[in-house]
Amino acid sequence: MKTALAALGLALLPSPAAAQTPDTLRDAFDQCFLVGTALNRWFIADEVPGLLDFVGDQFSAVTAENAMKWGRIHPEEGQYAVAIPDRLVSFAQANDMAVVGHTLVWHSQTPDWVFEGEGGQPASRELLLGRMKDHIDTVVGRYRGRVHGWDVVNEAILDDGSWRPSKWREQIGPDFVEQAFRFAHEADPKAELYYNDYNMTAPGKRDAVVAMVKDLQAKGVPISGIGMQGHFGIGRPSMEDFTAALDAYGSLGLKVMITELDVTVLPWPENLAVGADISSAAENREELDPYTDGLPEEVARAQADQYAALFRELVARKDFVSRVTFWGVSDADNWKNNFPVRGRTDHPMLFDRDLQPKPAFDAVMAEAKGCSGG
């Protein structure tokens, strides 16, 4: 191309379009990593006018917030509910977006029947492993070649680094993680396969995840990436903990992703462990819900600073950071309005309730300067 242009005596000047500053996340970070979002059922079903167009413009990856969880996609033995997941995958293909499958093996949102044998007794190792394989074969197999990567195992380790007691672990044994990855690889050998968890910057969990992954790698288990969920707050995590975790996971030679990013602006209830354990809950009180009338400028600024600091470190590690996914699209309809306290008014995303960019959006976009120039 260059030679042909030179032969015609034409110089290679940037076109006016190429010289413009990108105004979407997917374009701005194109040379760094995918930027994704999570979609709930009514977004996927196109029940919110204009939302899907906005999503296709802004993001290059998409995750179903709930629709591919076991309880949703496989509620009864042998019955699969694929209408919403199918729509998500078609939407992503039409908009050249990567699909992330979330999630195959999780202690939560998995129906009781999965763990039960004859007469309601706990299912044997063989029965449960068979169900796990059948589920993974069916779900991963259905979207083979169309899902970029799967959160294969979600939240198997606690903050102190110990294994989470779960029916998967109790009834199958410690190799349930390895088995899940092997089944997923058989079902779609080209899909990326991830371990995904929250509080991945907590040193105890971080070190345990590193040890687990090294063990999986030594056994030849096909794991390709680590997902740090990223349910953060202003000043939380510290940049020291954040970068130490990124580098610890990056040193394993795997892709590292932020898979469920949000930065809450609301106070965390005292006496409640910080994290994303969905069983955590606290009662609403006025002092826990201070921004029902809107986000004060100084808080929006502090949130923007936190987002900028996070993206600065992610861009600096673009060699191994492959995706950053926000856990939602805007402040409206965001899970943080109900977690860990129901019915609050949180403002955790880059876009406000009217899909307008917030100071955090501009702050994140400014960090994309580190993506250009290879």
Residues involved in catalysis? 260
Of 33, 242, 249, 335, the residue at the interface with ligand G3I (CB under 6 A) is: 335
Residue with tokens 């949000």: 262
Alpha helices, H only, 143-238:
167-172, 176-187, 203-218
**Contact residue for ligand G3I among 109, 162, 356, 372 (CB under 6 A):** 109
Q: Classify residue 286 by its DSSP letter.
A: G
Choosing from 278, 299, 316, 332, the residue that interacts with ligand G3I (CB under 6 A) is 278
Mark 177-216 with x for binding to ligand G3I (rule: CB under 6 A) and - for no binding. Answer: ---------------------x------------------
Rounded CA gap, 25 and 22, in Å? Answer: 8
Q: How far is the CB of 72 from ligand G3I (least distance, A)?
A: 9
Which stretch, 62-70, 182-190, 248-256, 316-324, contacts ligand G3I (CB under 6 A)? Answer: 62-70
**Mask: binding to ligand G3I, 258-277, rule CB under 6 A, as x and -?**
--x---------------x-
Instruction: Assess contact for 269 and 289: CB atoms under 8 A.
Output: no
Q: In terms of CB distance, is 66 or 264 closer to ligand G3I?
A: 66
- Mark out the alpha helices in the chain (DSSP H runs): 2-7, 16-19, 25-28, 41-44, 51-58, 70-73, 83-94, 125-142, 167-172, 176-187, 203-218, 239-250, 297-316, 359-367
Q: Is 43 in the site for ligand G3I (CB under 6 A)?
A: no
Spatial neighbors of 175 by CB under 8 A, at least 6 apart, are none
Residue type, 229: Q
CB 116 to ligand G3I: min, Å: 21
Q: How do 225-228 and 255-264 pair as beta strands?
A: parallel
Residue type, 116: E
Spatial CB neighbours of 351, under 8 Å, sequence gap ≥ 6:
329, 330, 331, 357, 358, 361
Choose the stretch contacting ligand G3I; rule: CB under 6 A; options: 63-71, 285-293, 298-306, 362-370: 63-71
Residue labelled with tokens 């999570």: 38
**Out of 229, 303, 322, 325, the residue judged to bind ligand G3I by CB under 6 A:** 229
Count of beta carbons in the 10 Å neighbourhood of residue 66: 18
Give the nearest residue (CB) to ligand G3I: 335
> Closest separation between CB of residue 198 and ligand G3I, Å?
6
Structure tokens at 281: 């809950």
45 interacts with ligand G3I by CB under 6 A: no
66 binds ligand G3I (CB under 6 A): yes
Residue 65 interacts with ligand G3I (CB under 6 A): yes or no: yes
Q: Which stretches of the chain bind ligand G3I, using CB under 6 A?
A: 40, 65-66, 69, 109, 198, 229, 260, 276, 278, 335
